[in-house]
Amino acid sequence: MENRNYGICGVYCGQCPNGNGRVKFNAGELKRLVDTVRYNWVEQVVKSFKFAEFRKGLEWFAAAQCPMCLNGGGAPCENRKCAAEKKLPSCLLCDTYLTCEHTKYQREWYPFIVDNYKRVKEVGLQKHLEEEEERARAGVDLMGHLERRCCKVIRLAEEK
């Protein structure tokens, strides 16, 4: 069976919360809770909070799930075009991966991707994908890495 849970760029989409459905599930759950508890009163306490906009955002996230680039989804990128021109199923198979301008973003945002590249050189793409799928099933995801880089404490201040 063909594994289509990976990005051509080398990131394993099955470990991404948008690719594996975690964002969709949690947004749906939060939408359900917000609707059940009827939080529309928050606008009256925090004037800068727009409940209708918040609710619309939850609806969007609850309905959306990245279909991953091998299935026609994912963010627009040059990686797919470049890999297609080189007739490669993954950028991880390209000898210029570590210096390629197209994979610079992935190397900067996901430093572990260099290890993925080296692992593919050792065991091949198929074995690497099997290992990544096993990690995904065990609960490994990109969040641990991204949380340190992206998450900030957000406080809603009451307007006076």
Does the residue 28 lie in any domain?
no
Phi, psi angles (nearest 5°) of residue 6: -125, 155
* Higher-confidence position of 154 and 142: 142
* Higher-confidence position of 55 and 144: 55
Residue 151 has pLDDT above 90, yes or no: no
Structure-block tokens of residue 6: 């990976």
Does the residue 114 lie in any domain?
yes
**How confident is residue 139, by pLDDT bands cut at 50, 70 and 90?**
confident
- With a CB cutoff of 8 Å and minimum separation 6, the contacts of 141 are 15, 16, 17, 20, 22
pLDDT of the residue at 155: 66
Q: What percentage of the chain carries pLDDT values higher than 70?
A: 86
Please count the other Cβ atoms lying within 10 Å of the Cβ belonging to residue 117. Answer: 21
Task: Find out whether 132 and 139 touch, Cβ atoms under 8 Å.
Answer: no
Residue 152 has pLDDT above 60, yes or no: yes
Q: What spatial distance separates the first Cα and last Cα of the chain, rounded to whole Å? A: 60
Least confident of 3-7, 31-35, 99-103: 3-7
Does the residue 17 lie in any domain?
yes
For residue range 83-128, list pLDDT tens digits in order. 989 999 999 999 999 999 999 998 988 888 899 999 999 999 999 9
Task: Find out whether 60 and 36 touch, Cβ atoms under 8 Å.
Answer: no
- Work out how many domains the chain is built from and give that number: 1
Does the residue 44 lie in any domain?
no
Quote the mean pLDDT of the chain: 85
Does the residue 79 lie in any domain?
yes
Does the residue 36 lie in any domain?
no
Q: What is the DSSP letter of 6?
A: S
* Higher-confidence position of 100 and 70: 100
- The pTM of the full predicted model, rounded to 2 decimals, is 0.71
Structural domain of 77: 13-21+65-150
Residue 1 has pLDDT above 50, yes or no: no
Does the residue 56 lie in any domain?
no
